[in-house]
Structure 1
Amino acid sequence: MVFDGLPAIRRHEAGSTEQLLAAAGFQTRPADNPERVHDLAVMPPLKIVARNQDNDVRYTFADPYKCRCLYVGGSKEYLAYQRLVTEQQIAQERLWAEEDRMNWGLWDPWYWR
């Protein structure tokens, strides 16, 4: 039996990104009309795409796996998203550094004492 975990990974990846996009102020637009269904089908999945619209840059994220929706925001929302991603990365690195300092337990090399 072969297990394909790729759809589960994609759903998890989408969920994490979607939380940050929503927190940054991106608007959720379900693919509930022919135009949005088409946009969802032709856009690269799980990638933020920038495009010019009415002399402004619009950022769109297509999720055909989890919510089957589009996230749409402008420059302000995209900058907020980038800030949140950076904050999340810094927090994760701090957590890993803290775990590295604390987790020797029984595996503490005796010759380092």
Structure 2
Amino acid sequence: MRNTRYWLMGILLVVLGLVLLGCASSSTSLTPQVQGPQTTEQLLSAAGFKQIYPSTPAQKAKLSNMPQKQIFLISKGPKVYYVYADASGCGCLYAGNQQKYQNFMNLATQAQFAAERYQAAQMEAWDWGTWGPGWWGETGVME
């Protein structure tokens, strides 16, 4: 009787360990595996834009007066620069030429496609199957 009890306890511990191991491995797969730059600032840096920090109070004031968080053009003689001011974030400005701007646009497009693919994969993983989206999708209650 005693041997049977120990034997059953051993099997129970092995099964419990396997269940916990299965739960631990499935929880890590639920975290999104998004890699690469995601914010505009990270995309600008990845595209090769140069970060320029103001060194004088006059430069800081000029940075604050620029349009914030948007890319705009500045011409200096025959050269054209693309500029992104971020006074509230890094307290700097990002500057680049036409080639760096094209790199930025390509990276931004790739990031957008990756986000859309990730969202589509998430929706597909819900696996509604024959059940459909639920009663709220049919009646328009949640629209």
TM over 0.5: yes
- Whether 1:18 aligns to 2:47 is no
Shift of 1:54: 2.2
What secondary structure, in the 3-state scheme, does the structure 1 residue paired with 2:90 have? coil
Please give the per-residue CA displacement for 1:18-58, whole angstroms capped at 9, x wherever unaligned. 10001001000112224421321211110111122221210
Of residues 36, 42, 50, the one that matches 1:27 is 50
Of residues 104, 116, 131, the one that matches 1:93 is 116
Q: TM-score, normalised by structure 2?
A: 0.60
- Whether 1:110 aligns to 2:131 is yes
* 1:42 corresponds to: 65
Relative to structure 1, the CA distance from residue 85 to residue 111 in structure 2 (aligned partners, 3 Å threshold; closer, same or farther) is: closer
> Any gaps of 5 or more consecutive residues in structure 1?
1-14
* 2:78 corresponds to: 55
> Any gaps of 5 or more consecutive residues in structure 2?
1-37, 134-143
> Number of paired residues?
96
Relative to structure 1, the CA distance from residue 111 to residue 58 in structure 2 (aligned partners, 3 Å threshold; closer, same or farther) is: closer
Which is bigger in relative contact order (C-alpha 8 A, separation at least 6)?
1
4+ runs of 1 displaced by more than 6 Å? Answer: none
* 1:79 corresponds to: 102
- Whether 1:67 aligns to 2:90 is yes
Report the identity percentage.
34
Counterpart code for 1:110? W
Q: How far apart, CA to CA, are the structure 1 residues paired with 2:65 and 2:124?
A: 47
